[in-house]
Amino acid sequence: MSLAAQSNNGAATAGDPYLPTSGNGGYVVTHYDLDLNYKVGTNQLRGVATISAVATAPLDRFSLDFAGLSVEKVLVDGERPRKVSQAARKLIVAPGTPLVAGEEFEVVVRYGGSPHPVKSPWGELGWEELADGVIVASQPSGAASWFPCNDHPSNKATFRISTSCEAPYTVVANGRLLEKSTRSGRTTWVYDMPQPMATYLATLQIGRYTRRPTTSASLYYPGELAGEVAVDFGRIDDMIALFVDRFGPYPFDNYSVVVTRDVLEIPLEAQGIGIFGRNHVDGAHGSDRLIAHELAHQWFGNSLTLARWRDIWLHEGFACYAEWLWAEFIGARTAQQSAIIYRGRVKAVPKDSLIVGDPGAHSLFDDRVYKRGALALHAIRTTVGDEAFFAALRAWVAEFSYGSVSSERFVTFFEDHTGNDEIGLIVERWIYSASLPEVIR
């Protein structure tokens, strides 16, 4: 993790220039335990966050990302801090006894209020009310809308999320469902995510959902969409099997798909979960590309997570290439045909000056990051051959599962595992150059 703290005060940033106000220095979080009580009808949330952390520098104060909710009580190692204050996006805590580097400590924050999304250059992020329920979509910096955290993907942690709400609603959160109990018209759902997770991937999905298991996944959807969901996700087991063959074992304990009753602008991924709107199901496989993309993020983005936002092509380029692999598998078109088609579409963009390996915060989700990232992977595959490419890809996933990755590490790893020293040149052409190479034929 990039830490800017060099004194006794933890910096209120992770040092990432793409999100200079997100994340915090001087410590790393190892576990979040969230105990949440939510009323759907009034959008009222009361929560207790128990945060386990380790100081990486001497600290007489530190900060957490937190926005839009009121803090009622804070404890550090069971004691009241010397001082607690809230700024627009930060909770600042001065413990009664300064922390020393290497010291493990626990922060308990009791809070409440009416959660709402936080504003960002990429729109509103985080906790959002649906017509009858909740969606949480935090990429890249919206986790602070519903729990105090160190909101940068370089600090991954394990999670336990307990949520109580009105009994007619289903709660889907990250990880395994450990417990479900109903009392006095309210149901408590307890989920455990034992694999380290970036805060932006933590989620709650609340709605009146029907659950249907498949061999490899669980589908949650409004009852009236049962027919469309059965068709559109009817090949999810085949898709998972393909990606297991190409990428290696599925990295988490389960995969869930949530289809909301509301229309969503785009599908979303969370760790162990793909989220789609009712507009993404048509009963005719119209969203197969999107389904493949969000599923692939379980490997690329959720298990292997960027350490800095400039490297987002390592998420989106891989997920985009997974779309091409699925199309190839079902005989729709080869990856080579996809590469030629999408290279043409990238070329048609009036301004081709984007540097995919450092697109700038404003272009973080530019479609060229996705497509040129996929084109780079296809160029590597074409150069080294299928056997070497997919062997290196599976090794890449196995080596860095549940950890952090970077572009530099990717180049070195693939050169070592393919024995081909052209990988760096390919990445330079497709990822770090504004000019657009030709597709190798």
Q: What is the pLDDT of residue 441?
A: 82
**Residue 2 scores a pLDDT above 50:** no
pLDDT in tens, 193-208: 999 999 999 999 999 9
Give CA–CA dist 63/60, Å, rounded: 11
Provide the pLDDT confidence category of residue 352 given band limits of 50, 70 and 90.
Answer: low
How buried is residue 175: exposed, middle or buried, by Cβ count under 10 Å (0-12/13-18/19+)?
buried
Mean pLDDT calculated for residue range 293-322: 98
Q: Is 157 left (phi over 0), alpha (psi -120 to 50) or beta?
A: beta
Give the Cβ contact number of residue 142 at 10 Å.
27
CATH number of 1-202: 2.60.40.1730
CATH architecture of 209-294: 2-Layer Sandwich (3.30)
> Which one of 1.20.1420.30, 3.40.50.970, 1.10.390.10, 1.10.10.10 gives the CATH number of domain 305-431?
1.10.390.10
For the entire predicted model, the pTM comes to: 0.96
Can you give the pLDDT at residue 8? Answer: 59
Q: What is the mean pLDDT of residues 183-191?
A: 97
Q: What is the DSSP letter of 356?
A: T
pLDDT for 32-71, tens place per residue? 999 999 999 999 999 999 999 999 999 999 999 999 999 9
Domain with CATH 1.10.390.10 in the chain: 305-431
Average pLDDT of the residues in 312-341: 98
- Could you give the residue range(s) of every CATH 3.30.2010.30 domain in the chain? 209-294
Q: What angle do CA 224, 131, 260 make, to 5 degrees?
A: 45
> Which has the closest alpha carbon to 366: 277, 434, 288?
434
For the stretch 121-151, pLDDT in tens is: 999 999 999 999 999 999 999 999 999 999 9
Average pLDDT over residues 95-108: 97
* Span 329-354, average pLDDT: 92
**CB-based burial, 190-212: b 16+ in 10 Å, e otherwise:** bbbbebbbbbbbbbbbbbebeee
Share of the chain above pLDDT 90, in %: 95
Every domain range in the chain assigned CATH 2.60.40.1730: 1-202
Using an 8 Å Cβ cutoff, are 253 and 298 in contact?
no
- Residue 3: pLDDT over 70: no
Statement: residue 220 has pLDDT above 50: yes
